[in-house]
Amino acid sequence: DSGVTQTPKHLITATGQRVTLRCSPRSGDLSVYWYQQSLDQGLQFLIQYYNGEERAKGNILERFSAQQFPDLHSELNLSSLELGDSALYFCASARGVSYNEQFFGPGTRLTVL
Amino acid sequence: SQQGEEDPQALSIQEGENATMNCSYKTSINNLQWYRQNSGRGLVHLILIRSNEREKHSGRLRVTLDTSKKSSSLLITASRAADTASYFCACHTGANSKLTFGKGITLSVRP
């Protein structure tokens, strides 16, 4: 158990819909990262927040957005969902802002029908 | 472009044998990390090696880093069936904490 929690574990929805994925980092960790894992694209970095501020951006679509709240939990919002958004979404947390090992949550499996 | 690329893509060995997995990368790094993922589950951090380090050990794991060749290897000694998983190398580059993962190596350890 990494100490990172993600909800929900599974999500099934339809194209065009909007969903919110939630992540709680390990106690004391200030950085939260979001990743998307699919068979064809592998593990792709989406976005990082550090202590409430956006820190780094990766291959995140404009239809996706994220935020980190004062209690340090984070939410990833996916809108106008397409079939190709079906994937495993992981969040990870780390102690500091850079160069640290990351602790991954169990993931949310999103299926878009 | 993919920063870390693992080799081979798949590896099947007998329990007790050693498993060697390789990772090559393209640009200079701050550190390189190896992670393990059991089927459909979250990644577990195994080991981190900094750019000024050449070798690191953790239990049955040994990681080497050759910055001149832009490559790293992960050796698992005396493998066990429980080592069956996917292994990823991840490169830490630049001023932010972005980690770039390879596509992973599927390791199967036959009992």
- Cα dist from B37 to A26, A60, A84, B24, whole Å: 19, 23, 22, 19
**Spatial CB neighbours of A37, under 8 Å, sequence gap ≥ 6:** A43, A44, A87, A88, A89, A90, A107
**Percent of chain A scored above 90 by pLDDT?**
84
Q: What percent of chain B has pLDDT over 90?
A: 73
Residue position matching structure tokens 């169990």: A106
Per cent of chain A over pLDDT 70 is 99
Q: How far apart are CA B2 and CA B82, in angstroms?
A: 29
Hey, which residues does B20 pair with through a beta bridge? B75
Question: How many contacts does A have with B, using Cβ atoms within 8 A?
Answer: 68
**Phi (first) and psi of residue A84, to 5 degrees:** -70, -10
Cross-chain Cβ contact B44/A2 below 8 Å: yes
Between B42, B92, B98, which is nearest A106 by CB? B42
Dig out the tokens for B102 from the structure: 């390879």
Residue B104 vs residues A38, A102, B99: alpha-carbon distances, Å = 12, 17, 14
User: Taking a C-beta distance cutoff of 8 angstroms, is the pair B74, B7 a contact?
Assistant: no
pLDDT digit string (tens) for B55-108?
999 999 999 999 999 999 999 999 999 999 999 999 988 666 678 898 899 999
What is the predicted pLDDT for the residue at B7? 84
Locus of tokens 């299926």: A111
Which pLDDT score is estimated for A39?
84
Which of B2, B92, B98 is the closest to A58 by Cβ?
B98
How far off is chain A from B40, nearest CA to CA, in Å? 8
Largest Cα–Cα distance in chain B?
44
